[in-house]
Every structure is written in C-alpha cells, then in structure tokens.
Structure 1
C-alpha cells in the first residue's frame, strides 16, 4: 500500500477463490448464513461445510453489491493435479467485446469497473500533464474524468506539453506517430498487459472492454430507403444510448491507485485524498 485505505483483508493467506458454480460436495452451515442484505457476506466465518465430514471448508459470498465467490479455506483444502488436461480459457484473441450500455440504458458495470482501474494507471502515467485521448467512446469514458482530475496546466507540471493516448494491441496497426501512453488489453488468463514493440508507457484495460473499443464500429446508423447499399447499417433497432454521463467505479479507482507507487507524489496524492473524501462528486 502506498496510500491510506479504509480496511485491509484479514483473510488467511493462501486462500483459493473460485466461482460458486465450480464448487462440489459442499453444504451451507445454517447458523453462519447471515448477510447485510439478501445474501451471504461471510461475516460469521466459513459458511460452507464438506458434505461428507461436516468440516467447515469455505466461505460463500453472494450478498448484493459484492462479487459472487467461494473462498476455500487453506487449512481445510489442498490442491491436487487433475487427471485430464486443464481446460483452456479464452485469451485476448478469443475474447468478445462487451457492449458499454445495457438494454436498460444504464452503463455496463464491467465498463465502469474496467475504466475505474485504467483511470488510476492513466493518472500515474500522465505524471501530472494533461492527456489527449482519441475521439469517440474513449473520450466518452475517459475524457470527462481526465479533464476534471487533470486540468490543462496542472500544478504538477504547469508548462509540460500534452501527452497523447491511443489504443494499441493485437490486431491493430501501430499508431503513427506512436503515442506517449498506450491503452493495451490485459490477458484474462494471466493478468499481464500486452506489450507493444515500441517503448511507450502501457496502461492495462480489461480485454473485453478493450476489444469493443478497438474493433466495434461506432458509426451512427443511417436510415435508407429501398435496398441497403454496401457499408450502410440498418437503423432498426436503434443503437443503445446511455441515459447518464459515464461514471468510473470510484471504489475500484481508489483501490487501484492506492497500490501504485506513483500515488506517493504530492500532486497525485492530493487527487487520491480528495476523491477518497468526496467519492460521489464528479466524475464519480
């Protein structure tokens, strides 16, 4: 940690987290199934027991506003090699883009979370200078926050020139000129950010969000009569449009920024402290 946080995990080191649907042979412990709202939050300790011996082996989390997960207690379980080869999970090239807007008209929470994390990295990479981002959806999701948090001629670097930001990654041609900061996809299997051949500073972005930004056609749909010419998209159904301005997830933003060494710099620490004290002001 490089900045103050409200709390730290007190769980046992070495715990393994899996999706609830990937667990087998466990049953709930009835007197440990409390939660804040309408689910389980693990407040009473492990709440899942082995169906065969009755020993507490894991904690199920599924209360509202929390990621659904099962935390396997390290003192009660151990890893064993599987007989069959591990199933391959999708990498960057296999990832499908996630649309930014839900059918309800609300911004997709995956986008709010991914942009919140990437925004912290962008601020650190900016070194206090203003950033120029590409037009379109990148500006819609990042531009407003950067304008508010990094105004032109900031106190950190009042005479520094603007740094450019652009998308880079597999399947995209190298930008010309190459930007100062490259938004690159984060491998969903390893968590590692894709590395360009150039020496630009990289900022990781969730692969499904990056894929939509990099390859989705954001042209406005054009109404046409008669036959549709090549390259003209249908205007029915109309494209989804958000009901509100985009707001990055403030909790993930602070969580990420507190773990970056750059937050120790006075200008970035002041941003962190202000957002932490006023988490529901613009742009959050």
Structure 2
C-alpha cells in the first residue's frame, strides 16, 4: 500500500499554496507551486478532465517534456487528457500558478477551442504572444500568493469572451462529470433532443473529446485518485465501473504509461488534495430541456 497522502506531501519537492476565495469565473480553479530545489527528477503529469495552464514566473525554469519528445520551457497550456502519451514536468526552482479550466470556459479564455489543442501541450506564447510575457512579469513582481491569485483571476476575467459552448453540450458534459464517467453517453442525445451525430460533432468540437472518450477520462480520474489514497485496485475497479481489474489496468496504462501501482504513488496525485479541494461540477439541465 502506498504511503498516506500527507506523508508523501511532506516529502514532496513542491510547496503548494491555494487561494482562500474561489475564482470569480465558474469553472476556474487555481493553485500555486514553488519548486524546493531538492530534486532534479522529472514527474509524470497525470491526465485530468480539465484544460490546464501553468503560468511560470520567478528566476527558475519550468520544463515540460511532451509526448512528442519536445522540451517546452516556461508557461504552457495542456488540453484534455494530454493527447497521446504522458508529459513529464521538471523544475529548476520554478514558481508557477497552475490553473484548471473546465472545458466549458476554456475556449473563452484561451482564445481557441479546446479541440484545437488536440490534448497536446503548447507554449502559452504560441497562443497569447506578448500577453503571456506580460502576465509573467506581473506575477514575478507580486509579493505574495494572494496577490498572484488575484492578478491571475483578473487577467483571466479580462480575457474571457462570450460563451462558446452550446447549452446542450454543457449539460452533457456536466452529466458525464456528475456521473463520474458512468453516464450512458448513448442516451445523452435523446435527452437533449438532438441527433447522436449532431451532439457528438458539437461535443467534440467544443469540449475537445468525443463524449465516450470524455467519460473514459472522467472515470479514470476518479479511479486514479482512489488508487492514490491507497485503496485496493480490485475494489477501485469494481466500484468505479470497470469490468474487472484488468480493464482498470489497461485504462491506467493507456492514460499514463504506468501501472496502477506506480500511478498510485505519483506526486502529481499526492498534492491534489491540498491544491484542488474543490467540488466537482454540478449537474444542471439547460433551460427548455
């Protein structure tokens, strides 16, 4: 059994801070990370059902090795599920505000649809140009985490444009999240009064994944966090909707390249309880449905 979360966190290589107040934007959460400089080891980035931003600042460097073999330095954005393969994160005394964006709001903030990221990791300067440098400079000049969180929240709010996700697509996504990936996606189209083809096409173009893959990612995320808490893999498989333990094993390997036992000990999951103590999105039905 892996050590308890707090034991692994106490020996972690990152200091973690979190805001006292939620973001002014629904679907946005953030946490602060500071590399302690005690290890040069790379850490596996475990996929999460959100679009992630890492806003780097300070004297150190945040290095990300993406699945394609590229090394990215500085602030990055990562799409849902990280695409095909697992990124690795390495710090050189870096500091960063990490932001998790629900795919329902990611497009309005990024300026591109989550589908355009194709799950990949990209440099923020590719998406935002000079604006990425400006937010880095402002974060670097800030004197505290509360100030940095406030700056980040205000910056994201200024970037936000009008919603780009159909109410029907948003409702389908919330159903999948609320059901922890166990919602029968084949019935979602009928529930919103659309054809299956229309919902699948709109969902993929606006969320970044087709509904079935999105449900698989959400189910994996729930299972991975239970594994990180030290729960038995057979029990996790049985209670999170997998056909058997082998099915869970295949999903974990497909998303991370590691076995369930190895994923259970990942630092990436160990800090989640401290960095992201927010409830899942609630289940809501769009008006008129």
Is the TM-score greater than 0.5? Answer: no
TM-score normalised by L of structure 1: 0.28
Compare CA radii of gyration and give the structure with the larger one: 1
Higher-helix-fraction structure: 2
TM-score normalised by L of structure 2: 0.28
